[in-house]
Amino acid sequence: MRGLAPDGTVVVLQLLRTSDGEIRLRAIGHETPVRTSSGGLTVALALIKRMAHLDFVIEKGTELGVSAWWAVLTAHCADAGLMRSYVHRLARWRRIAEAASLQSGRSVVPEIRGVLSWEELLREAGACPRRYVAVPHAKIRLRDTPRQPSSRALFLVGPEGGWSRAEESSLQEAGFVPVALGHTVLRSETAALVGSVLLAP
């Protein structure tokens, strides 16, 4: 069997039963998995009530090469109970990301961030040269944007209630490019996966 060490090394493990009946693991080697791109993709997703769906999104997005997952508090999802539920699930999502990294041969486990405020999102976005926000029926389609796998990208997906006017204004000021993902309106979690497919290095 294989395990993931804290430094990202994939360790080959052997399951042993001792003479007194105890079960132990012994490291018998290691593998050098494929490294992720130095650029990386961060997917920032507004809080959604269908949190169980995020298990699948984080697993598959990690396999596709997403470098970081952020949960974002927006005007239309400001719910204290929902925020607490997110915080309680962070450990689960980190385990899912670790397992998906191991399965797909990645040497770096994606960062799973807790709930970011709107101000924190805008501040952190400054470190990403390419910033996109999913907007239904935007003039630019994400699949038509230039491929730049070596530069860091941030893909932001909003709540199902949409953005407030203040949020739309601040996203424009922060240099986010509005992009459409297709001809139909997608659920937030579906949009996150489509963005992962189109932008991951």
Q: pLDDT, tens digit, for every residue of 167-192?
A: 999 999 999 999 999 888 899 999 99
Same domain as 39, residue 1: no
**CA separation for the pair 115, 46 (Å, rounded):** 9
Same domain as 40, residue 15: no
- What's the pTM? 0.79
**Is residue 1 pLDDT above 70, yes or no?**
no
Same domain as 152, residue 53: yes
Same domain as 57, residue 2: no
Same domain as 103, residue 66: yes
Q: Tell me the residue range of the domain where 14 lies.
A: 1-32
Same domain as 106, residue 16: no
The total of structural domains in the chain comes to 2
**CA separation for the pair 96, 113 (Å, rounded):** 14
Question: Which pLDDT score is estimated for 77?
Answer: 82
Same domain as 96, residue 25: no
**Is residue 51 pLDDT above 90, yes or no?**
no
Question: Which pLDDT score is estimated for 125?
Answer: 94
What single letter denotes the amino acid at residue 178?
Answer: P
Question: Which pLDDT score is estimated for 25?
Answer: 60
Check which CATH number belongs to the domain holding 93 and give it.
3.40.1280.10
Same domain as 39, residue 28: no
Q: Which residues have CB under 8 Å from 2's CB, separation 6+?
A: 10, 11, 12, 13, 31, 102
Same domain as 67, residue 15: no
Average pLDDT over residues 116-139: 93
Same domain as 181, residue 82: yes
Same domain as 74, residue 12: no
Q: What percent of the chain has pLDDT over 70?
A: 83
**Is residue 41 pLDDT above 50, yes or no?**
yes
**Is residue 32 pLDDT above 50, yes or no?**
no
**Is residue 84 pLDDT above 80, yes or no?**
yes
